[in-house]
A and B are shown apart, each in its own frame.
Chain A
């Protein structure tokens, strides 16, 4: 099983693999998150870590193969729906999609896929835009060495 597959050709678990198109569509969703909130100057720099995340999710829980496939299908369905002006905006904002329990494909796409990508994106640096902070729970900011600490400190120490 390829543990990490930075090329994104196929992300596999013993129960199967994600085909490259699905991986690409998931990446597009991640990029849409970056675009909608405008909180990442260059999402491309996050691609390797994003693919590793997908691989880790599937490794931890092979059910994610199914979740990812369903999410991609659901986004395609939203795109086809003429009543919905913007598929991604619908996914990010529809309040029902965020309600428990997770049953429908829309809820899977929002809660198990899009929401998790948001948490990942913040932990990779997306938080900075909102508060100007330099650290955030989940972000690997660096150690408390001789230099300035890897987080904001009081203005008057």
Chain B
């Protein structure tokens, strides 16, 4: 049987796109194919296990680390910089939002004009104004709590939920930023607030163990897809798990006809025909699937006649700076499981050529010094109440964390490998080498951070870690107006193919300094609108979230 729209992957890109199409056309025939398994969400026993062991319940769905001398591993890193894949994504129903942080920033206006402003990379084929309405819709769809009066990026709609006020732990940092004249704001975060409609997602209870939220208050694509499948109004929507798409099949150079899949449960191969195919399998698997789909029509893989598929890989280097404060008289203690304070002062047009960056006051601040410790560890180590009270008021370490924009380089790329990992995916070869200017840029950042630490009453601090983990991998099928610059069109359609799209961070033209998922969600909703238009359906912007039951049953 032929399905109208088949989506490969069940992450936020797939979920937002499905949601948008079904709102405009509730009887649309959509099939979501997911390589991984389904896990129970919103379960209190699982939550408590995570609470007391600290072990994330979905850890079996991660990639293994790279192979070490005496330790088996997965994937291969052949570049000059190690970009770890383990912990960078999840192969499961709901994809990587099952473990994401929910930081939900918009790109800034200048990010859409990177090449024009700096000569680096390419420009986006449209500007901020084109995406702005979809940003508004995306903030409602994933349920963002944010400060609607924040002028960092222009907006035409308020956030659906009010910002979380700054914490007492933010106070010292805020004073330091103010002293130095560095701008700061509330960190917009995907956490449900108190909804005006009846919602299947409880408001955030500030429980602070967000990597597995027992209430569904942090957006997770798995919950959103569950909401969509549970509605009777969507009779032609279905999701299949443990179906690994191996190859895209073509009936003509410009027309995809279906997918060759492996049913992991039965071990059988299946062919699935479709009118429209959306590849939404993340920034690593999406280009790999195109690369693997070789044939007489596309010798080097679909959309890859110019050898651009898989190239221009970027990810955010995430840095950690740490300093010591001599005392902690107000007994600051981490109270929240997510940060509330961000500075986008250096995420500005002035910094764009050198590399924009953001600074975040992490929710783990402060750490009781010498013991790398929180209250639980101090008690578990057997300290008395007096000793603990003394420890929490004594020397503490504090961190500033952040990420930096790096630029695309065609030599940085990924490729599919023949070895199959234990989750059934083809392993990945990563070839990435950091830019020669990166280390100097980090030194400059360090000087700014030291100033902040000193203004907080601490020492200069130092860099303790830079992680190139592929959490924010992007640009591997980047969008462009012209096919010689990128793989997909401004509508995310593969250049040269009429019915094949890539909906992923892979399709970003460039990256900016902030987490990508709100932008990805906006792009997915925009693609949904485009597909609805193609089907003669009007798109109506919708400012409701998937769990809003009252609205859902009214439509």
Q: Is there an interface contact between B167 and A153, defined as CB atoms closer than 8 Å?
A: yes
Chain B contacts for A68, CB-based, 8 A = none
A21 to B366, CA, bound (A): 41
Interface string of A27-70 (1 = CB under 8 A from B): 00000000001110000000000000100110111000000000
Within 8 A of A (CB), among B317-358: 331-337
Contact of B44 among A56, A92, A132, A139 (CB under 8 A): A56
Chain A contacts for B331, CB-based, 8 A = 130-133
Q: Is there an interface contact between B49 and A144, defined as CB atoms closer than 8 Å?
A: no
Which of chain A's residues has its CB closest to B44's CB? A56
**Quick check: is B388 within 8 A (CB to CB) of the other chain?**
yes
Closest CB of chain B to A13's CB: distance in Å?
Answer: 11
Chain B contacts for A95, CB-based, 8 A = 382
**Quick check: is A140 within 8 A (CB to CB) of the other chain?**
yes
Which of chain B's residues has its CB closest to A144's CB? B164
Chain B contacts for A151, CB-based, 8 A = 167-168, 206, 335-336
**Quick check: is B497 within 8 A (CB to CB) of the other chain?**
no
Closest CB of chain A to B306's CB: distance in Å?
Answer: 49
A95 to B381, CA, bound (A): 8
**Quick check: is B155 within 8 A (CB to CB) of the other chain?**
no
Stretch at the interface among B372-380, B485-493, B516-524: B372-380
Which of chain A's residues has its CB closest to B174's CB? A154
A140 to B209, CA, bound (A): 10
Within 8 A of A (CB), among B149-191: 161-162, 164-168, 170-171, 174
Chain A contacts for B206, CB-based, 8 A = 135, 140-144, 149-151
Q: Is there an interface contact between A130 and B205, defined as CB atoms closer than 8 Å?
A: no
Determine which residue in A59, A94, A136, A155 has the highest number of CB atoms from chain B within 10 A of its CB, and name it: A136
Q: Is there an interface contact between A143 and B203, defined as CB atoms closer than 8 Å?
A: yes
Contact of A37 among B53, B337, B385 (CB under 8 A): B385
Which of chain A's residues has its CB closest to B376's CB? A119
Q: Is there an interface contact between A131 and B51, defined as CB atoms closer than 8 Å?
A: no
A149 to B162, CA, bound (A): 11
**Quick check: is B389 within 8 A (CB to CB) of the other chain?**
yes
Q: Is there an interface contact between A152 and B207, defined as CB atoms closer than 8 Å?
A: no
**Quick check: is A105 within 8 A (CB to CB) of the other chain?**
no
Which of chain B's residues has its CB closest to A120's CB? B52
Which of chain A's residues has its CB closest to B374's CB? A137
Q: Is there an interface contact between B385 and A140, defined as CB atoms closer than 8 Å?
A: no
A114 to B382, CA, bound (A): 11
Q: Is there an interface contact between B51 and A120, defined as CB atoms closer than 8 Å?
A: yes
Within 8 A of A (CB), among B1-52: 44-46, 48-49, 51-52
- Asked if A145 meets B194 with Cβ closer than 8 Å, knowing A37-B379, A119-B51, the reply is yes
- Asked if A144 meets B162 with Cβ closer than 8 Å, knowing A37-B385, A151-B336, the reply is yes
- Asked if A39 meets B380 with Cβ closer than 8 Å, knowing A116-B52, A122-B375, A135-B206, the reply is no
Q: Is there an interface contact between A137 and B337, defined as CB atoms closer than 8 Å?
A: yes
**Quick check: is B392 within 8 A (CB to CB) of the other chain?**
yes
Contact of A154 among B51, B170, B335 (CB under 8 A): B170
Q: Is there an interface contact between B375 and A127, defined as CB atoms closer than 8 Å?
A: yes
**Quick check: is A118 within 8 A (CB to CB) of the other chain?**
yes
Chain B contacts for A153, CB-based, 8 A = 165-168
A131 to B162, CA, bound (A): 28
Chain B contacts for A139, CB-based, 8 A = 207-208
Apart from the given pairs A144-B162, A152-B167, 18 other A-B contacts in the complex at a CB distance below 8 Å: A38-B385, A56-B45, A57-B49, A59-B45, A118-B376, A119-B376, A130-B389, A131-B332, A133-B333, A135-B206, A135-B208, A135-B335, A141-B206, A142-B206, A143-B193, A145-B194, A154-B168, A155-B171
Using a CB–CB cutoff of 8 Å, the interface residues on chain A facing chain B are 37-39, 53, 56-57, 59-61, 92-95, 98, 114-116, 118-120, 122-123, 127, 129-145, 149-157
4 A-B pairs with the lowest CB-CB distances in the bound complex, closest first: A93-B382, A137-B208, A154-B171, A152-B168
